[in-house]
Chain A
């Protein structure tokens, strides 16, 4: 039998089989290689270079770009700003999304209308949303200041986007307003997968609304929460279009986020190598945050 296997005809067949298998995966490997692996390797290579993005020559500088990032206070400040926006999105945006999803999961009138209504902000362009909110928050002719004046809250009137105390919070709230629709749809879909019988059984056992929510809804929704949280973190940490639309090149460094710093290094300072190094550091931070959150969710699930 073994001898038969080693016969040239069988060997040819085995090579042919192997080749066939490789041919099956080749297109996918090619696409993955060209569009994912090559750019990643290129970014990593560029992060070790000093290059302006145009000159045909690059200068190898080792890990100098990474060392510079470690000392770059503006970069880490921008990371904190993105973290602040993410924190507000995680609490305000997802809290609002959950409340509305819970409401729409009940037998209420016109719930389909509400579903459509809540999903409108996410489908709007970030530029449009940014410009509309800029108009609302304008310090001179803004709608918000007009409303505050008309209800006697003159002391609260300010230029919301030109004041370092309020600019970032305003951006975070607008970002949350624009993004809550995604969380709403995902959470609503998750809520609808929980069997009604579980709630009925809980009620039979004497559980009230709060107990049903904490003992049935929350444990069963943990995987959905986990997904919504990861999507919120990734989406909020990378926000930048909205910021450009609302405050242009920024209010000093108070509204700077990592993506804007990367863009600035690339197009403003023509430092492609540094921008690539920033991209890698930012990617690593996002991976670490996402994995930590995933581990935390798993622990919560089994707790």
Chain B
């Protein structure tokens, strides 16, 4: 065996150095086995990085895992799961992932990897929801909901349940049933600052669109900004426009447009687009509203920088944190057309049960408990959100009560029988932004949206 001896002059250590190839020539078969086992272990390690759905905890008792995105409810959930563990011995471990975009990405990735927790929520359109159901990720709770004369289902506002329900003959071909447990309900309305209106010499909030527009010059003369909202977030523009589409042309015509039977260039749609131009021309809109996120809009309204705001019922909690002395009221958007004003609303957030969970039964039991009167009352009190449970609305503030009153006037794309193409929604919302910044006219946008619609319809037919 050839060896080369090199003496390190500094350390005076003798090092026996062989060429790597020689070393391997002399290795035993055991080495090769070890190497192959090592590689296999590496591969197994990689494949085992993920936690399997419904995995049993190393601890003896059942541990239910849940994911959510609701930063404002984290402490309340912690308290409730503590109570539940004390009562039943079942441990529930909630993990918070925020912001909501990051949460959505995580849920999608987990669904693809098959690592969804026992409880999770979905943020997105009904189309995505249906894909989760078809892929077998979400348990159908219909049987449980309908037990004992629909005892569980009847606890909730009908609108809250509708968001997670698939009716028979639905366009996604999902098996009919209820697939989610609503935690709270919400709706989106107009809010007005009573003190600022008074300062501008306005006695009452507007009932009609014309009254609303007429307030623009008065507010401007008093040095008060008119209207603020998070219209940098596309869905809020969509929501405002949708309210007026229902009000101007009625539900049937809106649905016919989505079906492709009515064009977006119809005069009613141009009237909807024109509302944004009118608001801009009246100097109503807060500067920079088109890129404003809702958090900024909430800060501006709570700091009394704007007389009106368009926001959801969650704002009651937000405003009380930002400015407890804010003197404001809630109202339906001022009417423009002859049809009923339908506002967006329904389930604010819902929890779904992983269909592949090992603890499906325990998870359902926990969600039944969580949606029971006492727990819902506690959640509503602590987080100032509207409870999904009808029996828990006793102790609400006047503003929250105002939001509750409008629950029967709510609608939501997720409960519509038909759904618009995402590309059309994008063109619609971006088009409204273009109107607000004065780049395009309502008629131009109507034409552009219709072009996108026709393209998507053509693609669908193919």
* Residue in B closest to A53 when the chains form the complex, CB atoms: B108
B436 to chain A, nearest CB (A): 9
Among B162-170, B203-211, B284-292, B314-322, the one that faces the other chain is B284-292
Q: Does B127 contact A (CB under 8 A)?
A: yes
* Residue in A closest to B23 when the chains form the complex, CB atoms: A20
* CB-CB under 8 A for A27 and B39, given A54-B131, A252-B430, A270-B131: yes
On whether the beta carbons of A140 and B287 are closer than 8 Å, the reply is: yes
* CB-CB under 8 A for A267 and B437, given A52-B128, A140-B287: no
On whether the beta carbons of A161 and B291 are closer than 8 Å, the reply is: yes
Complex: how many Å from CA A163 to CA B20?
A: 65
B108 to chain A, nearest CB (A): 6
* CB-CB under 8 A for A55 and B128, given A139-B288, A251-B433: no
Contact of B35 among A23, A56, A138 (CB under 8 A): A23
A233 to chain B, nearest CB (A): 27
* CB-CB under 8 A for A26 and B39, given A54-B111, A249-B232, A252-B437: yes
Q: Does B1 contact A (CB under 8 A)?
A: no
Task: Give every chain A residue within 8 A of B128 (Cβ-Cβ).
Answer: 52, 54, 270
Q: Which of B6-56 contact A (CB under 8 A)?
A: 20-21, 24-25, 32, 35, 39, 42-43, 46
* Residue in B closest to A71 when the chains form the complex, CB atoms: B455
On whether the beta carbons of A55 and B134 are closer than 8 Å, the reply is: yes
On whether the beta carbons of A251 and B25 are closer than 8 Å, the reply is: no
* CB-CB under 8 A for A251 and B131, given A30-B43, A268-B426: no
* CB-CB under 8 A for A267 and B439, given A55-B135, A247-B291: no
Contact of B291 among A34, A250, A264, A269 (CB under 8 A): A250
Q: Which of A26-72 contact B (CB under 8 A)?
A: 26-27, 30, 34, 52-56
B231 to chain A, nearest CB (A): 9
On whether the beta carbons of A54 and B108 are closer than 8 Å, the reply is: yes
* Residue in B closest to A34 when the chains form the complex, CB atoms: B46
On whether the beta carbons of B233 and A17 are closer than 8 Å, the reply is: no
Q: Does B132 contact A (CB under 8 A)?
A: yes
On whether the beta carbons of A269 and B39 are closer than 8 Å, the reply is: no
B195 to chain A, nearest CB (A): 20
Complex: how many Å from CA A109 to CA B125?
A: 60
On whether the beta carbons of B105 and A252 are closer than 8 Å, the reply is: no
Interface size on A, as a range, is: 35 or more
Q: Does B141 contact A (CB under 8 A)?
A: no
Contact of B288 among A16, A52, A140, A268 (CB under 8 A): A140
1/0 per residue, CB under 8 A from A, across B391-404: the answer is 00000000000000
Complex: how many Å from CA A253 to CA B131?
A: 29
On whether the beta carbons of A248 and B39 are closer than 8 Å, the reply is: no
On whether the beta carbons of A162 and B39 are closer than 8 Å, the reply is: no
Complex: how many Å from CA A153 to CA B111?
A: 55
Task: Give every chain A residue within 8 A of B25 (Cβ-Cβ).
Answer: 13, 16-17, 20
* Residue in A closest to B101 when the chains form the complex, CB atoms: A267
* Residue in A closest to B432 when the chains form the complex, CB atoms: A252
Task: Give every chain B residue within 8 A of A249 (Cβ-Cβ).
Answer: 232-234
On whether the beta carbons of A253 and B134 are closer than 8 Å, the reply is: no
A78 to chain B, nearest CB (A): 13
Task: Give every chain A residue within 8 A of B433 (Cβ-Cβ).
Answer: 251-252
Q: Does A235 contact B (CB under 8 A)?
A: no
Complex: how many Å from CA A139 to CA B437?
A: 14
Among B132, B136, B423, find the residue whose CB has the most chain A CB atoms closer than 10 A. B423
Q: Does A208 contact B (CB under 8 A)?
A: no
On whether the beta carbons of A20 and B21 are closer than 8 Å, the reply is: yes
Q: Which of A144-195 contact B (CB under 8 A)?
A: 159, 161-164, 167
Complex: how many Å from CA A34 to CA B39?
A: 13
Q: Which of B92-127 contact A (CB under 8 A)?
A: 101, 104-105, 108, 111-112, 124-125, 127
On whether the beta carbons of A17 and B422 are closer than 8 Å, the reply is: no
Complex: how many Å from CA A137 to CA B39?
A: 55
Task: Give every chain A residue within 8 A of B422 (Cβ-Cβ).
Answer: 268-271
Task: Give every chain B residue within 8 A of A23 (Cβ-Cβ).
Answer: 24, 32, 35
Task: Give every chain A residue within 8 A of B305 (Cβ-Cβ).
Answer: 140
Task: Give every chain A residue within 8 A of B370 (Cβ-Cβ).
Answer: none
Task: Give every chain A residue within 8 A of B286 (Cβ-Cβ).
Answer: 140
On whether the beta carbons of B42 and A30 are closer than 8 Å, the reply is: yes
Complex: how many Å from CA A161 to CA B25?
A: 68
A272 to chain B, nearest CB (A): 9
A262 to chain B, nearest CB (A): 13
Task: Give every chain B residue within 8 A of A264 (Cβ-Cβ).
Answer: 426
A244 to chain B, nearest CB (A): 9
* CB-CB under 8 A for A248 and B233, given A20-B24, A30-B39: yes
Q: Does B434 contact A (CB under 8 A)?
A: yes
Q: Which of B423-443 contact A (CB under 8 A)?
A: 423, 426, 430, 433-434, 437, 439
Q: Does B293 contact A (CB under 8 A)?
A: yes
Task: Give every chain B residue within 8 A of A55 (Cβ-Cβ).
Answer: 131, 134-135
Complex: how many Å from CA A268 to CA B430?
A: 14
* Residue in B closest to A142 when the chains form the complex, CB atoms: B288
Task: Give every chain A residue within 8 A of B127 (Cβ-Cβ).
Answer: 52, 270
Complex: how many Å from CA A138 to CA B291?
A: 11
Task: Give every chain A residue within 8 A of B39 (Cβ-Cβ).
Answer: 26-27, 30
Task: Give every chain A residue within 8 A of B292 (Cβ-Cβ).
Answer: 248
On whether the beta carbons of A54 and B288 are closer than 8 Å, the reply is: no
On whether the beta carbons of B42 and A27 are closer than 8 Å, the reply is: yes
Q: Which of B188-230 contact A (CB under 8 A)?
A: none
On whether the beta carbons of A54 and B132 are closer than 8 Å, the reply is: yes
Complex: how many Å from CA A23 to CA B39?
A: 10
14 A-B residue pairings within 8 Å (CB atoms): A24-B20, A27-B42, A53-B112, A56-B135, A139-B287, A162-B288, A162-B290, A247-B232, A248-B291, A250-B291, A250-B430, A252-B437, A269-B422, A271-B422
B-side interface residues toward A, CB under 8 Å?
20-21, 24-25, 32, 35, 39, 42-43, 46, 101, 104-105, 108, 111-112, 124-125, 127-128, 131-132, 134-137, 232-234, 286-293, 305, 422-423, 426, 430, 433-434, 437, 439
A-side interface residues toward B, CB under 8 Å?
13, 16-17, 19-20, 23-24, 26-27, 30, 34, 52-56, 138-140, 159, 161-164, 167, 247-253, 264, 267-271
In the A-B complex, the 3 residue pairs with the closest CB atoms: A248-B232, A54-B131, A269-B422
A30-B43, A248-B232, A251-B290 are known; give 9 further A-B pairs, CB within 8 A: A27-B39, A53-B108, A53-B131, A252-B290, A252-B433, A253-B430, A267-B101, A270-B124, A271-B422
